[in-house]
Amino acid sequence: MFHIILYQPEIPPNTGNVIRLCANVGVRLHLLRPLGFDLSAAQLRRAGMDYAEIADVRIHENLPNCIASLERNDDGSPARLFALSTRGTTRHDQPRYQAGDAFLFGPESRGLPAEVLDGIAEERRIRLPMRPECRSVNLSNTVAVVAFEVWRQLGFVGGV
């Protein structure tokens, strides 16, 4: 298993799509407050909450609490944290991922704050390749691309 972390998500349909994705891939989703919506929002339910029964979703007050909740690796070391950002320096398919890794995604309108990104090792600041004239990729699409790359590297464990 690995972890998807949404830092202060703002758009209900994106979060709903990510909930559905996490249920299908079998990964834990962490949502960091403040959320830009009510969890009962109709758009959120339409996009993914019908998967809430099989999705493992945890809500945290802040990033330190979330990180503290992640399981340790088999050797006792803490989970590795990767941050997705257009300011990242490593392409998303370059690292060799392992079970227990966590992937942090910023809010749709502004991405991860500099103080959060600065706290993550440069080689773990990853990005999706895109054309230079483009600004960013939709949050739920970015999560899907990264989740399937990580799951592929882990041998699609639990998939059929």
Tell whether residue 32 is among the known ligand binding residues: no
70 is in an annotated binding site: no
Question: What would you measure as the largest C-alpha separation in the chain, in angstroms?
Answer: 43
Q: Tokens 């009962």 identify what position?
A: 40
Distances (CA, A) of 133 to 93, 114, 136, 155: 21, 22, 10, 34
List Cβ neighbours of 68 (8 Å cut-off, separation of 6 or more): none
Q: Is 136 annotated as a binding residue?
A: yes
Q: Which residue in 123, 102, 109, 122 sits closest to 60, CA to CA?
A: 102
128 labeled part of a ligand binding site: yes
Residues in binding site for S-adenosyl-L-methionine: 84, 106, 128, 136
